[in-house]
């Protein structure tokens, strides 16, 4: 198949508002596949890209959308294992909010039978982040207490689900009864309302935390640190509060606490096998019915900006997915 014209939501110039544009897609090159996109999962990082504060923000102009699901329509040299017609999910880092895109085949996985495009587009980043964080970085073991901040968000909710699957006692912290109920449904054993409760006091009353999963930062990080047990591990996943916490090293020393950074996408450049193994485990859990993405909103392509605003205003739980028509 030859070059094609597609609609895409592009970021260009100095504007932080993406604009729908027509883009010409060539044939895929060495090690690449061209995918007709059926769904694109939105992430908080998309918002950071708009204002240029994400660690992997592409040069402008670029197409928003970090993860997609769709059907391969052509494969370049060296990517023939993804034959046309193969259903795939791709973590491309960009290019997802479009009718089609060209991606490195190394960033694609074939979808299991029974996994639809919406679930697949909501899967890789959220589940991958939480599984690598809890399993590879924190070495969470059964019986430990896991405190999840931002527990109803895109990654936080998967941390609740995966932590419970790994045998932890899970304390979920989120704002408001509705979001806490979503966390309860994902397996949380204890609930803390971040809007009204004293996080430190409530976690300590529950015996303290062995592992803290923190995509929020700010004051919640400080409260969680003070509620840690000796030899606890704190995972810094992101800073949705907008405040990067400043850590006093003497506090770590006194309790023998470790702070562990986790940037899931970074493993693609220096240890891609970590992601490969993790996704194989996660897709196996999905096939067995042990995990299921929570998608609070599925919107058509022409409402993609509305989807981004749902993330910005924290009205979503779990994931927001944009369904892209033919």
| One domain, residues 115 and 163 | no
- Let me know: does 62 contact 11? Beta carbons within 8 Å: yes
pLDDT for 245-296, tens place per residue? 999 899 899 999 999 999 999 999 999 999 999 999 999 999 999 999 999 9
For the chain, give the longest Cα–Cα distance.
64
| One domain, residues 103 and 137 | no
Residue 83 included in any domain? yes
CA atoms of 42 and 88, how far apart (whole Å):
17
What is the gyration radius of the CA atoms in the chain, in angstroms? 20
Residue 286 included in any domain? no
The pLDDT-based confidence of 2 (bands split at 50, 70, 90) is low
What CATH number does the domain containing 10 carry?
A: 3.90.180.10
Residue 236 included in any domain? yes
- Let me know: does 136 contact 278? Beta carbons within 8 Å: yes
| One domain, residues 101 and 11 | yes
Residue 32 included in any domain? yes
| One domain, residues 67 and 169 | no
Which residues are within 8 A (CB) of 202 and not within 5 positions of it... i.e. 6 or more apart? Answer: 192
Query: pTM score, two decimals?
Result: 0.93
| One domain, residues 160 and 112 | no
CA atoms of 162 and 167, how far apart (whole Å):
9
| One domain, residues 65 and 187 | no
pLDDT for 145-198, tens place per residue? 999 999 999 999 999 999 999 999 999 999 999 999 999 999 999 999 999 999
Measure CA 56 to chain center: 15
Beta bridge pairs of residue 19: 10
Residue 272 included in any domain? no
CA atoms of 171 and 192, how far apart (whole Å):
7
SS percent in the chain: helix, strand, coil, step 5: 35, 30, 35
| One domain, residues 173 and 132 | yes
The pLDDT-based confidence of 55 (bands split at 50, 70, 90) is confident
| One domain, residues 117 and 140 | no
Total domains in the chain come to 2
Measure CA 29 to chain center: 28
| One domain, residues 169 and 43 | no
Residue 248 included in any domain? yes
CA atoms of 103 and 28, how far apart (whole Å):
8
CA atoms of 107 and 88, how far apart (whole Å):
10
**CA nearest to 173, candidates 214, 143, 137:** 214
| One domain, residues 251 and 131 | yes
Beta pairing, strands 228-236 & 258-261: parallel
Residue 279 included in any domain? no
| One domain, residues 47 and 28 | yes
| One domain, residues 150 and 89 | no
H or E segment and range at residue 312: helix 304-312
User: Domain containing 146: what range?
Assistant: 126-265
Residue 270 included in any domain? no
CA atoms of 34 and 311, how far apart (whole Å):
28
């Amino acid at each position: 198949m030859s070059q094609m014209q597609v609609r895409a939501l592009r970021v260009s110039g100095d504007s932080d508002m993406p604009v729908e544009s027509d883009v010409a897609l060539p044939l895929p090159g060495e090690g690449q596949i061209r995918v007709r996109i059926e769904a694109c999962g939105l992430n908080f990082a998309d918002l950071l890209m708009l204002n240029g504060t994400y660690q992997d923000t592409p040069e402008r102009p670029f197409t928003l959308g970090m993860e997609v699901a769709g059907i391969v329509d052509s494969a370049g040299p060296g990517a023939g294992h993804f034959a046309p017609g193969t259903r795939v999910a791709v973590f491309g880092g960009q290019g997802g909010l479009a009718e089609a895109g060209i991606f490195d085949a190394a960033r694609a996985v074939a979808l299991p039978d029974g996994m639809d495009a919406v679930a697949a587009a909501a899967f890789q980043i959220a589940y991958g982040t939480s599984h690598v964080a809890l399993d590879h970085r924190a070495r969470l073991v059964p019986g430990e207490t896991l405190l999840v901040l931002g527990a109803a968000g895109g990654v936080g909710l998967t941390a609740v689900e995966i932590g419970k699957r790994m045998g932890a006692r899970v304390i979920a912290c989120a704002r408001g009864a509705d979001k806490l109920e979503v966390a309860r449904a994902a397996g949380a054993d204890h609930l803390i309302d971040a809007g009204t409760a004293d996080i430190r006091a409530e976690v300590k009353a529950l015996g303290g935390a062995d592992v803290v999963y923190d995509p929020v930062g700010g004051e919640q990080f400080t409260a969680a640190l003070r509620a840690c047990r000796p030899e606890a591990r704190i995972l810094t996943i992101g800073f949705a509060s907008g405040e990067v916490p400043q850590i006093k090293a003497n506090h770590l020393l006194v309790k023998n606490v470790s702070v562990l950074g986790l940037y899931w996408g970074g493993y693609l450049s220096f240890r891609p096998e970590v992601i490969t193994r993790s996704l194989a485990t996660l897709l196996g859990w999905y096939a067995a019915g042990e995990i299921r993405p929570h998608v609070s909103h599925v919107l058509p392509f022409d409402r993609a900006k509305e989807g981004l605003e749902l993330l910005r205003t924290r009205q979503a739980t779990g994931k927001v997915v944009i369904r892209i028509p033919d």
